Amino acid sequence: MSKLRFSITMSLDGYVAGPSQSLKDPLGVGGEALHDWVVELAAFKEAHGQKGGVVTASSPIFQEMFQNVGAEIMGRGMFGGGPGAWTPDWKGWWGEAPPFHMPVFVLTHHARDPLPMRGGTTFHFVTDGIESALSEARRAAAGKDVLIGGGAKTIQQFLAAGLVDEVNVSVVPLLLGGGERLFANLGDPAPRFEQTRVVEAPGVVHLRYRVAQR
């Protein structure tokens, strides 16, 4: 069955970005180190047109993140170029050939025509909320999974609405001391998670949970 899921890296103290996010520090002060475990992987480098890298217990975790995914949803913050009305020449952080290769649905308050890019990515802009974005993404995914790319606020909205099926959290031994918390604003009662898999890898542990349906 088609699942709605996300995969994100969190510091041991619960943050997915450090304090004082800015254009210079999009992941906040110290936040870039969250992704040390992934950027060194051969699979990551290959996906970004680079050579080299290592193979670790994290490699299959990185690869399955995109396996059987037919569409992605992201927040306006992750797509960038905001806040506010669109500057037409803003086409995301990823250049002319973004690494998604699938339809991507961007949650925004500002309507915009779809933006086809090279390599199979088309950005669609959804202005009427998360359920509408999910229903469009599911249709585009045609039976495959839908991935929530981020950021934290987008993930929180889907969790609080009880729409997420599977959660992948990669916990790294960083203490960022502030920034953007992942598990906050989850509603009352909060979603109930069931631990389904743990993978130990160098400098990170990958935790997978199934979300119990209400």
Tell me: cis bond preceding 151? Omega within 30 of 0 counts: yes
Q: Which is nearer to a copy of itself, 132 or 195 (CB)?
A: 195
Look at residues 159, 169, 152, 173 and name the one whose alpha carbon lies nearest to residue 17. Answer: 152
209 lies in the binding site for a copy of itself (CB under 8 A): yes
Burial class (CB in 10 A: 0-12, 13-18, 19+), 73: buried
Whether residue 36 contacts residue 199, with contact meaning beta carbons closer than 8 Å, is answered with no
Q: 139-178: which residues touch a copy of itself (CB under 8 A)? A: 169, 171, 173-177
186 lies in the binding site for a copy of itself (CB under 8 A): yes
Look at residues 165, 139, 208 and name the one whose alpha carbon lies nearest to residue 5. Answer: 165
54 lies in the binding site for a copy of itself (CB under 8 A): no
Q: 98-117: which residues touch a copy of itself (CB under 8 A)? A: none
Q: Which is nearer to a copy of itself, 100 or 158 (CB)?
A: 158
198 lies in the binding site for a copy of itself (CB under 8 A): yes
Q: Which is nearer to a copy of itself, 78 or 159 (CB)?
A: 159
Burial class (CB in 10 A: 0-12, 13-18, 19+), 178: middle
Catalog residues that contact a copy of itself under the rule CB under 8 A: 12-14, 169, 171, 173-177, 181-184, 186, 188, 190-195, 197-198, 200, 203-205, 207, 209
